[in-house]
Amino acid sequence: MTAKIINEYGCIEIDKHVIAQVAYKAAMESYGLVGLASRTKGIVELLKGENATKGVKVEEAEDNAVEIELFVVMQYGVNISTVANNIIDKIKYTVENTVGVKVNKIDINVQGIRVK
């Protein structure tokens, strides 16, 4: 899946891995977020090593927009809804301004809480 931007200079295709990387970097700047959780677990995940977009899922929506789903691990003692709203705002702003692709929906799935 690629997002397409068509303007007077031509056509630009942006791969979903680029959008996932931008979303990952934006999410990791949010307070209260420890990291992203893997969507799949098992021997394949152990052999692959660390992947920056392992907890980000990007799907194409109508009208050349995207829908983003994150699997996160949050810090103990923070308000989950406040952190989730901050992550959503940060990702939506960053992806739309950096990549130029409209974000229709962002889902946050809390996979765990880390106690320091």
pLDDT (tens digit per residue) in 88-110? 999 999 999 998 889 999 999 99
Does position 42 have pLDDT exceeding 60, yes or no?
no
Residue range 1-26: mean pLDDT, rounded? 86
pLDDT at position 43 = 46
pTM of the model: 0.82
Residue range 16-33: mean pLDDT, rounded? 91
Domains and CATH numbers, the chain: 13-114 (3.30.70.1350)
The larger pLDDT score, comparing residue 12 to residue 47, is at: 12
Q: What is the DSSP letter of 96?
A: H
Mean predicted lDDT score pLDDT of the chain: 85
CA dihedral over 19, 43, 87, 68, signed as positive or negative: positive
Percent above pLDDT 90 for the chain: 50
